[in-house]
């Protein structure tokens, strides 16, 4: 029964839920699946990436504004959302890299940082959990830590010996990693733009991006969700400090994106149920 299905996305910052897997989220919500997003940090150290929002009063209130943006995206996607309560680590830059800020999310012990997620899993009781791969999708320390605590919580939530104070055990059945920004998808979008005589935003990036068949083979599950790309875009735009409406996110027209790459793509990393690969549904084997 679809109404008994529950999906938990674990993300590092507010806006990640809209840039990774948002269209498939909207599809599952429309089907009656109960979808929750766990947001590890408040995005307190995030930069303002939309020039129109780069104002002193915004920067001074960035924590509250990013919470308001998350509320707006949550309403658009039709999801539930919980904050895990950790502090954004920022993206360290330089050579050598500076130390992480004291007390930030990525500086914590995995077993400590996983505790609120274990509690949430036991309360929400999802059959399916998603997060990033071991590289974080990209090497932001919060994304890497998000991966680590999600894998730890997936295993610990069903173990009655682990975190006994955090509620009755619940074992999720499938764990997926997002594969959003992979070369095969970028190449298809690039080629579709070129075929229409349009300038591709990916030309420079693809020039030195060599094919990686091993990485492409990691994708096991492609969810058809093109009709929800518009919902994804509206959720993205709700994060106004992070998303420039005139920037690269929207260079590829919606109809081109829908035709050239109509899926969102995942890797089945762990499963306690039988399903036939490749899949077209995160709940394959559970319906």
Is 133 labelled as part of a ligand binding site? Answer: no
User: Helices (DSSP H) in 157-279: which residue ranges?
Assistant: 183-195, 203-207, 213-216, 229-238, 254-260
Q: Which single residue is written with the structure tokens 């590890």?
A: 40
Q: Which single residue is written with the structure tokens 């509320």?
A: 71
Cα gap 50→239, rounded to integer Å? 9
Length of the chain: 287
Compute the C-alpha angle 258/264/270, nearest 5°: 165
Compute the C-alpha angle 127/154/185, nearest 5°: 75
Counting beta carbons within 10 angstroms of the beta carbon of residue 80, is it exposed (0 to 12), middle (13 to 18) or buried (19 or more)?
A: middle
Is 239 labelled as part of a ligand binding site? Answer: no
Which DSSP string do the residues of 92-144 spell out, in sequence order?
Answer: --SSSPPPPPTT-GGGS-HHHHTHHHHHHHHHH--SEEEE--TT-SS--HHHH
* Token pair in block for residue 130: 């998603």
Q: Is 84 helix (H, G, I), strand (E, B) or coil?
A: strand
Is 212 labelled as part of a ligand binding site? Answer: no
DSSP conformation class of 43: -
Sheet with 174-178: strands ordered across: 80-86, 34-41, 6-11, 128-131, 174-178, 263-271, 221-224
DSSP conformation class of 236: H
Residues making up the annotated binding site for Zn(2+) are: 13, 16, 143
- Binding-site residue ranges: 13, 16, 143
């Amino acid at each position: 029964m679809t109404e008994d299905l529950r999906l938990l996305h674990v993300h590092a910052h507010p806006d990640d839920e809209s840039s990774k897997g948002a269209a498939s989220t909207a599809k599952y919500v429309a089907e009656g699946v109960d979808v929750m997003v766990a947001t590890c940090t408040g995005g307190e150290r995030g930069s303002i990436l939309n020039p129109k929002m780069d104002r002193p009063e915004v920067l001074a209130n960035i924590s509250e504004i990013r919470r308001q943006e998350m509320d707006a995206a949550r309403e658009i996607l039709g999801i539930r959302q919980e904050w895990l309560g950790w502090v954004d680590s920022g993206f360290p830059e330089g050579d050598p890299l500076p130390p992480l800020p004291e007390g930030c999310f990525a500086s914590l012990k995995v077993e400590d940082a996983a505790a609120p997620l274990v509690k949430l899993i036991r309360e929400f009781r999802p059959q399916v959990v998603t997060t990033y791969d071991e590289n974080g999708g990209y090497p932001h320390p919060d994304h890497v830590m998000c991966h680590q605590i999600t894998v730890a919580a997936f295993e610990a939530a069903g173990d009655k010996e682990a975190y006994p104070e955090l509620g009755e055990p619940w074992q999720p059945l499938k764990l997926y990693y997002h594969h959003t920004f992979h070369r095969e998808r970028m190449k298809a979008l690039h080629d579709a733009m070129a075929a229409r005589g349009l300038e591709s935003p990916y030309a420079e990036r693809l020039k030195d991006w060599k094919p990686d068949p091993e990485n492409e083979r990691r994708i096991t599950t492609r969810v058809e969700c093109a009709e929800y790309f518009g919902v994804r875009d509206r959720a993205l735009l709700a994060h106004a400090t992070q998303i420039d409406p005139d920037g690269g996110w929207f260079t590829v027209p919606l109809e081109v994106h829908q035709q050239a790459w109509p899926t969102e793509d995942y890797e089945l990393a762990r499963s306690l149920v039988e399903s036939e690969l490749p899949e077209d549904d995160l709940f394959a084997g559970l319906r």
